[in-house]
Chain A
Amino acid sequence: MAAPSEESEFDPAIDSIKAVPVRHPLRWVMSVVVVVLVAMLVNTLVFSHITRDGQVEPRYQWGIIGHYFASPSVLRGLVVTIELTVIAMAIGIVLGIVLAVMRLSASPLVSGFSFLYVWFFRGTPVLVQLLFWYEISYNYHRFSLGVPFGPSFVHVDANTFVTAFVAAIFGLGLNEAAYMAEIVRAGLQSVDHGQTEAAQSLGMSRLMTIRRIVLPQAMRLIVPPMGNETISMLKTTSLASVVTVTELLLAVENIYDRTYQTVPLLMVASIWYLILTSVLTVGQYYVERRFARGAARSLPPTPWQRVRRNLFPAHVAPAQVVARDG
């Protein structure tokens, strides 16, 4: 094709580029590998068989999984798992915010306390903390509220107050607070100091400044790791099975202790954990979007909007080239 002459006028409709695309051989190879791997996975999950005790059976017993998937005892365990997650996270978030604000206090005693709390609860395994709360009556027969070294006013019997469930809540929630405190602190410190000064120049008190100005902005940084923590907590609640809380894992354990169908029932639990995690992931996305206000010029699309955009992409304008003769 001859180079356009000086006189020829550039017409984007005619001169739009229709180039032969560059080939990506490695991309093709990887695509084939992925397809093969997926095919192997489907085969082993659905179609393959295995000989157990002389009997040829499907490798994965989907029938058993389906049978127990929505059974009452599994669903009861599921509810307990959700309860543990929600309550422990609520304690973790509220206490975490308090600890973070304390950590930023001008008083070395107050900030030191917060530091020690985080140091202690982050420094010991959460399973040990769960066991400790479960065995609390070994050290405390009853809890009393009163003056240190002086009289006390309210008494609670340790064994009736700290049930297995309460022990799990304490263990998980107080541990979570230590991690949340660090996340919240990082978020609070990321907000420009000019925001605090502007709020104070309006006459806002320190606490109101944190609540109305700094924390809402910090949330944008706090929410993603908080979502992580929630998803992590969902699975950590399985540790409560060790202190006899019949959550999801102990619920299926109780069944396979009876039926010896260990693996299918562990899969029942796993599938439920995956479902709950998926729900949380979607929820996290919308919470993040909520706190993105004012940070981005336009809000990010919802997953549904993104799917629609991928299915019906807007027409791409033809590339425009300015012809120029040397």
Chain B
Amino acid sequence: MVVAAGVRKSYGRMEVLAGIDLTVRRGQVMCIIGPSGSGKSTFLRCINHLEKIDAGRLYVDGELVGYEQRGGKIYELSDRAVCEKRASIGMVFQRFNLFPHMTVLDNVMAGPLRVKKQSNEVARSRGLKLLDQVGLKDKVSTYPNQLSGGQQQRVAIARALAMEPKLMLFDEPTSALDPELVGDVLDVMRDLAHQGMTMVVVTHEMGFAREVADSVVFMDQGVIVESGEPGQVLTDPTHQRTRAFLSKVL
């Protein structure tokens, strides 16, 4: 589903991604862990072209992200084509980024209504179903700032799912939450994984990674230091840097 080959990205002279190679298969859950500033969020944002990569190749579903290859030449995709591709990739942010001027249901309906041009009834019934699924059926007509962080993040997940994405990206979805609210969000994500959603999750929740992930990637200073099955990477890391990081967070 996601294939990265030598992906590089720098801001000015600061190299944030120094050659990333990885593969996420359909239906797989990949957790990316690592210290802050290691480039994991940046890489995630490259996958739906919120950031442009400078070098290497990044494919989603077999197609280049943000570009198009025709006859040996690479063309930048039009804004419209980029939007179309983004519509099939859900993203959940650390700071939720719900639309504060819309009710919970309107937040969830915004994508289907405006981007997919679905009818009001279709978008509404699907929105209600998704909010039920994340346990927020009774909050449909409240505004985001009346919800707890955990509830907001679950709305954000429902909003992303409303677009019926083939891939979900989670950028530290529980890092801004009070500890007792983390569990509800992780439950929703766990359900999603069990339903076979392909997910790339940047997280500090080692328990979640161990339990749900099919593979874990440890990034540091813009490179993948180590990757493999969660049991191996998290309990028996081969690399010194991984061991040092894990000893700090576990």
| Binary B-proximity of A185-196 (CB < 8 A = 1, otherwise 0) | 000000010110
Chain B residues lying within 8 Å of A208, measured Cβ to Cβ, are 114-115
A213 CB–B CB distance under 8 Å = yes
A22 CB–B CB distance under 8 Å = no
Q: A203 and B111: CB pair below 8 A?
A: yes
Q: A293 to B163, alpha carbons, bound, how many Å?
A: 25
Interface size class of A (residues with CB under 8 A): 20 to 34
The minimal Cβ–Cβ distance linking A288 to chain B, given in whole angstroms, is 14
Chain B residues lying within 8 Å of A258, measured Cβ to Cβ, are none
Q: A223 to B84, alpha carbons, bound, how many Å?
A: 34
A144 CB–B CB distance under 8 Å = no
A197 CB–B CB distance under 8 Å = yes
Q: A198 and B89: CB pair below 8 A?
A: no
The minimal Cβ–Cβ distance linking B176 to chain A, given in whole angstroms, is 11
Q: A202 and B100: CB pair below 8 A?
A: no
| Binary B-proximity of A282-326 (CB < 8 A = 1, otherwise 0) | 000000000101110100000000000000000000000000000
- Main secondary structure, interface of A, reads helix
Interface segment among B127-135, B141-149, B204-212, B236-244: the answer is B141-149
Total count of chain B residues near the partner, CB < 8 A = 33
Known contacts A197-B50, A294-B144, A297-B146, A202 near B86 by CB under 8 Å: yes
Chain B residues lying within 8 Å of A227, measured Cβ to Cβ, are none
Q: A104 to B143, alpha carbons, bound, how many Å?
A: 29
A23 CB–B CB distance under 8 Å = no
Out of A195, A201, A206, A217, name the residue touching B50 (CB < 8 Å).
A201
Q: A201 and B114: CB pair below 8 A?
A: no
Q: B91 and A201: CB pair below 8 A?
A: yes
B102 CB–A CB distance under 8 Å = yes
Known contacts A194-B95, A197-B93, A198-B93, A203 near B84 by CB under 8 Å: yes
Which 10 A-B pairs give the minimum distances between C-beta atoms?
A203-B87, A198-B97, A201-B91, A202-B111, A194-B97, A294-B143, A294-B100, A203-B115, A294-B101, A203-B86
Q: Using CB atoms and an 8 Å cutoff, list the residues of chain A in contact with chain B.
A: 192, 194-195, 197-206, 208, 212-213, 216-217, 291, 293-295, 297
Given contacts A201-B48, A201-B89, A202-B159, 17 further A-B contacts (CB under 8 A): A192-B97, A197-B50, A198-B98, A199-B99, A201-B50, A201-B91, A202-B110, A205-B79, A205-B83, A212-B110, A212-B114, A213-B99, A213-B110, A293-B143, A295-B145, A297-B145, A297-B146
Enumerate 15 A-B pairs (CB-CB under 8 Å) in ascending A order.
Answer: A197-B93, A198-B91, A199-B110, A200-B50, A200-B83, A201-B86, A201-B160, A202-B86, A202-B111, A202-B114, A203-B84, A203-B87, A203-B163, A213-B110, A295-B101
